[in-house]
Amino acid sequence: MTKIIETSNENETMAAGEDLAIEILNLKSDKSVVVFLEGELGAGKTTFTKGMLKGFDYNELVKSPTYNLVEIHQTKTHRIFHFDLYRISEPIELEEIGIDEYLNELKSVTIIEWPKNGEAVLPSPDFHVHISYKASNSKRELQIS
């Protein structure tokens, strides 16, 4: 099932992220959840992630993990691993940092920007979000499946 949402600004993209977080919370499952975020640079992947964290009732500063590869946030219910694989050139780099340990942790959500760069070592995601630019500067289309 694919849901298509059009957003006109940053806040609407955050709200879509918040909704996905609530959907994950409503699963009431301890199993780890994997979310792939695709879309060009500046599409809104990190913005969407910030919305997800808000949905998990996490209100601290969320910065982009571009330089650290992963940022870890402990929310009231889950540990959130936010990866940005933009700078990864070989998927083996992910094995070296022990990606499997992140992916196998109970009560965790792993959110991955640029998942294609790690495709060879990543499982298929539970949720797949693709954000694309629409004609005007601030319009985006989100496909969530």
Point out which residues bind ligand ADP (CB under 6 A).
7-10, 12-13, 39, 41-47, 64, 113, 138, 140
The one of Mg ion, ligand ADP, none whose footprint includes residue 138, by CB under 5 to 8 A per kind, is ligand ADP
Minimum CB–partner distance for residue 18 and ligand ADP (Å): 13
At its nearest, how many Å lie between Mg ion and the CB of residue 94? 17
From the CB of 40, what's the least distance to ligand ADP, in Å? 7
Nearest residue to 12 via CA among 46, 36, 48, 56 = 48
Nearer to ligand ADP (CB atom), residue 9 or residue 145: 9
Closest to Mg ion by CB, 34 or 131: 131
The residue type at 83: F
CA-to-CA dists, residue 56 to 26, 60, 78, 94, 105, angstroms? 11, 11, 8, 26, 17
Tokens read off for 120:
């060879």
Residue 11 is inside which H or E element, if any?
helix 10-26
Q: 13 or 32, CB closer to ligand ADP?
A: 13
Q: How far is the CB of 49 from Mg ion (least distance, A)?
A: 8
47 exposure class (CB count in 10 Å sphere: 0-12, 13-18, 19+): buried
Question: What is the C-alpha to C-alpha distance for residues 12 and 51, in angstroms, rounded to an integer?
Answer: 9
Nearest residue (CB) to ligand ADP, 73 versus 140: 140
Query: Residue 123's binding partner, choosing from ligand ADP, Mg ion, none, with beta-carbon cut-off 5 to 8 A by kind?
Result: none
**Interacting residue ranges for Mg ion, rule: CB under 5 A:** 45-46, 64, 113
Tokens of 13: 């993209």
